[in-house]
């Protein structure tokens, strides 16, 4: 019987692709982006890189953007790109319209809510504020505060200990096979894959049995699971 539903943040609870498109203009102030490219074309390049490379890590995204696209008018370091994107993320986060209602539905039904996200506490906490999600979770674990980023199973073990729950009574919802599905499954959680790219993104990893297109489906997934 599932008693707690724990979520990833990026790509799972907010529209990262829309957010990437929304930061194009401020990003032009920070990086030598080709002025002949329209904002839409820049957004397409960034979203495509994120969609195809993020499940292999930020290093792969940086390498792809810098070495395999024509986004910039001069050579830059890959870290310049990621640092500029993260800076823009401090001011912009585009929510899905269904995220908060979905979380409220789960909370009203008596489920404990948690969040496990990689990143720095300041940035991730600001994202939650911009998204209107601060205060909705019973516990929030930002791995940068504890030095145990996913795919370590440590944050999943910590969350179960904090909530005093058997991991088998906890569901973890995330979009990344490496950082979300594999370690949550190893920690004993029931994993749910949010399919943001149209397919299982890592064929080298055992495919997740429970899959959804968006988190709007999670309350029904939990209900069905608890009825089995």
- Residue 175 CB coordination number (10 Å): 25
φ, ψ dihedrals at 139, nearest 5°: -145, 140
User: Crossing angle for the helix pair 78-89 and 58-68, nearest 10 degrees?
Assistant: 120
DSSP bridge pairs for 191: 172
Model pLDDT for residues 92-117, shown as the tens digit of each residue: 999 999 999 999 999 999 999 999 99
Write out the E strands in the chain.
4-7, 112-117, 139-142, 170-174, 190-194, 210-212
Give me the pLDDT at residue 54, please: 84
Is the pLDDT at 146 greater than 90? The verdict is yes
Q: What is the Cα gyration radius of the chain?
A: 18
In angstroms, rounded to a whole number, what is the distance separating the alpha carbons of residues 11 and 179? 12
Instruction: Quick: pLDDT tens for 148-203.
Output: 999 999 999 999 999 999 999 999 999 999 999 999 999 999 999 999 888 888 88
Print burial letters for 22-45: b (CB count within 10 Å at least 16), e (below 16).
bbbeebbeebebeeebeeeebbeb
Say whether pLDDT at 58 is over 90: no
119 Ramachandran zone, left/alpha/beta (phi>0; psi -120 to 50): left
CA quadruple 115, 117, 159, 141: dihedral sign = negative
Residue 180 per-residue DSSP state: I
- This prediction has a pTM of 0.92
- What does the pLDDT read at residue 55? 82
Give yes or no for residue 48 having a pLDDT over 90.
yes
């Amino acid at each position: 019987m599932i008693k707690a539903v724990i979520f990833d943040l990026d790509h799972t609870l907010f529209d990262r692709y829309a957010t990437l498109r929304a930061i194009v203009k401020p990003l032009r102030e920070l990086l030598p982006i080709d002025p002949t490219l329209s904002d839409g074309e820049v957004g397409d390049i960034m979203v495509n890189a994120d969609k195809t490379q993020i499940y292999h890590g930020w290093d792969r995204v940086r390498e792809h953007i810098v070495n395999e696209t024509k986004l910039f008018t001069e050579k830059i370091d890959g870290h310049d790109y990621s640092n500029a994107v993260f800076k823009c993320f401090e001011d912009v986060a585009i929510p899905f319209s269904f995220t908060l209602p979905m979380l409220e539905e789960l909370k009203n039904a008596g489920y404990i809510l948690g969040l496990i996200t990689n990143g720095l506490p300041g940035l991730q906490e600001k994202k939650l504020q911009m998204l209107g999600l601060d205060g909705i979770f019973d516990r929030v674990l930002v791995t940068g505060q504890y030095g145990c980023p996913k795919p370590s199973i440590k944050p999943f073990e910590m969350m179960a200990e904090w909530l005093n729950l058997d991991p088998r009574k906890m569901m973890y919802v995330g979009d990344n096979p490496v950082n979300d599905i594999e370690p949550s499954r190893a920690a004993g959680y029931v994993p749910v894959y949010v399919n943001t790219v149209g397919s299982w993104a890592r064929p080298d990893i055992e495919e997740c049995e429970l899959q959804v297109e968006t988190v709007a489906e999670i309350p029904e997934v939990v209900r069905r699971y608890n009825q089995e």
